[in-house]
Amino acid sequence: MAPRTVAPPPDGHARVRMTVAYDGAPFHGFATNPDVRTVQDDLHEALSKVLRAPISVTCAGRTDRGVHARGQVVSFDADAGHFDAVALTRALNRMLAPEISVRDVALAAPDFDARISCVARSYRYRVLNSAWPDPLVRDLVWHVREPLEIGTMQLAADQILGEHDFTSFSKKNKSKVNETFVRTVDRAQWCRVGNTVQLEITANAFTRQMVRSLVGMFVEVGRGRRRPDEMGEALRAMSRTAVPSPAPPQGLELTRAHYPGDV
């Protein structure tokens, strides 16, 4: 497949790269969706007011309803003659707080595109593994009461490393024809932090609900309801019926979008 090209900014404009964090709880996902509040619409409105021109952003990865982000990257074009990164950051943070925070604004190469230029994405999923729920983090974790065996969960995670067809763990987009679910996972690591069990996962790209569906399977393994080698069986089945329901969205966070040349 030939690499996709990115159109340069119009004359007099510059390409801008911006990193944002957001609490996904009050939003119906990142992408614009009629009649509901989305992160993209809030960004469009704020940017258009501050820059006094219609602004449209492209993101590194579209997050679903209730999913959070700490390292979401967006790109857009702005008037080069009046661009001030510091002033823009301050103005946006005044307008968008507390649900959205702008962490970094900088000029980018003319061929930069937050989505097309992205070579990998990293997510974290948190499971509160305790007998009692914690109301102070209820919008940030999935509470699982039964003790989880992290060793068997890691054995299952090792089986998704490399290139696989994740059809079993993907929600299909009915509007797409010949949609592919082949992805390459570079990292899938479970660790325990206090009474929280966390998955750190990095891949070149993710399908819709892929991480949440994988976590749903991992937790079943950790509970002892499934064997670790059933992860491989589920991958080969290429059927949603082979896996349990996806984990809830609030435990998921987009932590970083990776680009060539980033440190």
- What is the Cα–Cα distance from 99 to 20, expressed in whole angstroms? 11
Q: Which helix (H) or strand (E) holds 87?
A: helix 85-96
- 181 in Cβ contact with 168 (< 8 Å): no
Q: Radius of gyration of the chain from Cα atoms?
A: 20
DSSP string, 71-86: EEEEEEEEEGGG--HH
- What is the Cα–Cα distance from 123 to 114, expressed in whole angstroms? 16
Angle at which helices 230-237 and 210-223 cross, to 10°? 150
**Which residue in 11, 35, 64, 139 is the catalytic one?**
64
* Terminal-residue alpha carbon distance, the chain: 28
Q: Which helix (H) or strand (E) holds 64?
A: none
139 is catalytic: no
In the chain, DSSP assigns E strands to: 13-22, 58-59, 68-79, 100-107, 120-129, 142-144, 162-165, 182-193, 196-203, 252-258
User: For residue 244, what are the contacts with CB-CB under 8 A and spacing of at least 6?
Assistant: 216, 217, 220
- Which residues are annotated as catalytic? 64
